[in-house]
Structure 1
Amino acid sequence: MYLEEARDLAGQLPTKYHYRNLYDFVLREGRFFEPHPRPDPIMLRHIGECFRNAFLTMMKTGLHYVEGYAAVGSKHPVLHAWNVDSDGSVIDSTWEPVGSAYFGIIFPLSIV
């Protein structure tokens, strides 16, 4: 898996750190989310502004905010942000069509 290879490039975990790098954090704390077409009430926002888009969607709708890695087709995953509903279904207000794979961590509003 691409994320595992990227994590391993960092070498051994320094004793004072809990995670080797961002990849290690996401791999250990994240999970897969099921992609779904964007529901009509959720507006498509600006490409290249996924973190802002997901934050604004969270504030407007109450959906959960997620950061992690997502992929389109067979391309390598990229750092991305999206929202999920209470069932864990992806709601991506940045990409149309939605990605083929999403792996990340739900962050509560208090730390976003």
Structure 2
Amino acid sequence: MLLHPTTCGERDLIAAARTTTDPDDRAAARIVLAQGRLFAPKPWPATGAPRRGSPAHCFANAMRVAHRTGGAYVEGFVLAAGRLRRHAWCAQADGAVLDPTWPRGETPQAYLGVPMAPWFVNTFQQRTLTKTCFPGVLDARVQAERDADRIYRDGVPAAALLDLGTPVPPETGSWPATPWRQLCAAREHVPRVAEAIGSADRRRAARPGRCQCPVPGCDP
């Protein structure tokens, strides 16, 4: 896939992710810069799209829309009003952004995130007991307390990555990026949409993650 010239917003987003000093964002940014893709901002469709989600629940909202549309769950960062914000959204087969959480009439300057197959996120939620209160795959607290830093250490598995969006230009930091042809080959062996992984109720005590959408109570 050819690299397109990045926009000013995309360049600023990449720079902000590379230089963030937020301890809760640094490890996630390392993964996103290595395995993530750039996505062009797009307004929510006027018709034909699933219902939008509740504010402050971008991770769960993105998963719901990914299941409904057969798209990818994308987790990473956006740049809005010059600020780096953790966020999640859905991406369609053509790379179009479906963001069910960001307020109508407002669009981030740029999106940068890791496009994951919904079946993998379902498996992650089961493994970490975070389905009821989902703070994201890259949440620092979940990684430390419930996943033994598995994603921070090894990255998102190649079989779970979807070839959507635009590759990040070179100089993505020290994390070794996985060749995308390897990811595409692995992707042929996994389903396009999420599998049913079980419906038994479990006791979950995960703390809410930081959805940083610009709505009251959403960006502490």
The answer to whether residue 92 in structure 2 is matched with residue 78 in structure 1 is no
TM-score (norm 1): 0.80
The answer to whether residue 108 in structure 2 is matched with residue 89 in structure 1 is no
2:50·2:68 contact (CA, 8 Å) conserved in 1?
Answer: no
Equivalent residue number for residue 4 of structure 1: 18
Percent identity of equivalent pairs: 32
3-state SS, counterpart of residue 77 of structure 1:
strand
User: Between Structure 1 and Structure 2, how many residues are aligned?
Assistant: 101
- Greater helix fraction, Structure 1 or Structure 2: 2
1:38·1:98 contact (CA, 8 Å) conserved in 2?
Answer: no
Q: Distance in 2 between matches of 1:61 and 1:86?
A: 10
TM-score (norm 2): 0.43
Higher relative contact order (CA 8 A, sep 6+): 1
Q: Distance in 2 between matches of 1:56 and 1:23?
A: 24
Larger Rg: 2
| 1:24-72 per-position Cα deviation (integer Å, ceiling 9, x unaligned) | 1111111210111111323221111000100111112212110000122
1:92·1:98 contact (CA, 8 Å) conserved in 2?
Answer: no
Q: Distance in 2 between matches of 1:36 and 1:93?
A: 11
Equivalent residue number for residue 132 of structure 2: none
- Where does 1:1-112 land on structure 2 (aligned, <5 Å)? 1-6=15-20, 21-39=27-45, 40=47, 41-74=49-82, 76-96=83-103, 97-112=106-121
Unmatched tracts of structure 1, length 5 or more: 11-19
Q: Distance in 2 between matches of 1:52 and 1:46?
A: 9
2:66·2:91 contact (CA, 8 Å) conserved in 1?
Answer: no
Task: Give the direction of change, closer, same or farther, for the CA distance of 1:43–1:98 in structure 2 (3 Å limit).
Answer: farther
Task: Give the direction of change, closer, same or farther, for the CA distance of 1:99–1:42 in structure 2 (3 Å limit).
Answer: farther
